[in-house]
Amino acid sequence: MLTAPTRDFLKDPATVLITGASSGIGAALARSYARPGRRLILIGRDQARLDAVADKVRDAGADVHSATIDVTDTNFVTDWLERVDHDTPIDLAIANAGISGGGEGGSESREQIDRIFAVNVTGMLNTVLPLLPRMRARSRGQVALMGSLAGLRGFPGAPAYCASKAAVLSYGDSLRVALKGSGVSVSVILPGFVESAMTARNPYRMPFKMTADEAAEIIRRKLAKGRGRIAFPLAMAVAARAGQILPWPIVDLLLSRAPSKPPMDEA
């Protein structure tokens, strides 16, 4: 008797979860993954923008389930994801929701710092932790954590943002090794400057900036290959890596006149 071929969850995930899907890279990823035969689970905070993204994804033939959720609400997110995964097992979970912010001369407010860590770190954990035991039980699944090249070296104009993305990177690298052989793949995404509502507020030149759709295509292709780290564009990735390798007094001097991000903005 002939049996149906097993679907490759890396190259062709049947069900994809994307947080922060109402704008920027999240919305572009939703469009990139949209096709007939695929279910997209989209989470965002802005109902109108999320509905607009969901409509476009449906037009491309995908089945869509969208929900307006604050990823920092641990109990609600945990219960909701467990119910969703029970009904339709998630092959790929992209923890993309994030916010940015900065301030001149270390002037970030405590409120801003706490909120950045709540969304970028706790929100990421709230997204992946309910799913990991279920993926491990199935011996299949992929989680992708949205970091940033800014997580490779702290910048004076956005200490909390850089630190939050460094935490995402360290957690993802550790988790990838811990889950080796389990059937669960872990990737950390490290983009440079990407066009979005958040970067549009930056009052300075952003070298090698790319569109969200360009970034999404890079991410989708490399996730399909199971890449552990997805850092781009290359020139920015090399520069960020150099910031880790060069002696810190030299890097501090080079960054001493770096511009600051504006105060927090959520997307």
What is the CATH architecture of 15-266? Answer: 3-Layer(aba) Sandwich (3.40)
Query: In degrees, to the nearest 5, what angle opens at C-alpha 152 toward C-alphas 150 and 155?
Result: 50
pTM for this model (two decimals): 0.90
Determine the pLDDT at residue 5: 44
E strand or H helix at 189: strand 184-191
Q: Which three-class secondary structure state does DSSP give residue 25?
A: helix
Q: Enumerate the active-site residues.
A: 161
Determine the pLDDT at residue 90: 98
Q: What is the pLDDT of residues 31-57, one digit of tens each?
A: 999 999 999 999 999 999 999 999 999
Q: How far is CA 250 from its chain centroid?
A: 31
Alpha carbon distance 216, 25 (integer Å): 6
Alpha carbon distance 240, 198 (integer Å): 20
- Mean residue pLDDT across the chain: 89
CB atoms within 10 A of CB 79: 12
Torsion angles phi and psi, residue 146, rounded to 5: -85, 105
Residues of the chain with confidence (pLDDT) below 50 = 1-5, 267
Structure tokens at 91: 């092959």
For the chain, the structural domain boundaries read: 15-266
Alpha carbon distance 68, 22 (integer Å): 9
How many alpha carbons lie under 13 Å from residue 220 in its C-beta half-sphere?
20
Query: In degrees, to the nearest 5, what angle opens at C-alpha 81 toward C-alphas 80 and 85?
Result: 125
Determine the pLDDT at residue 201: 64
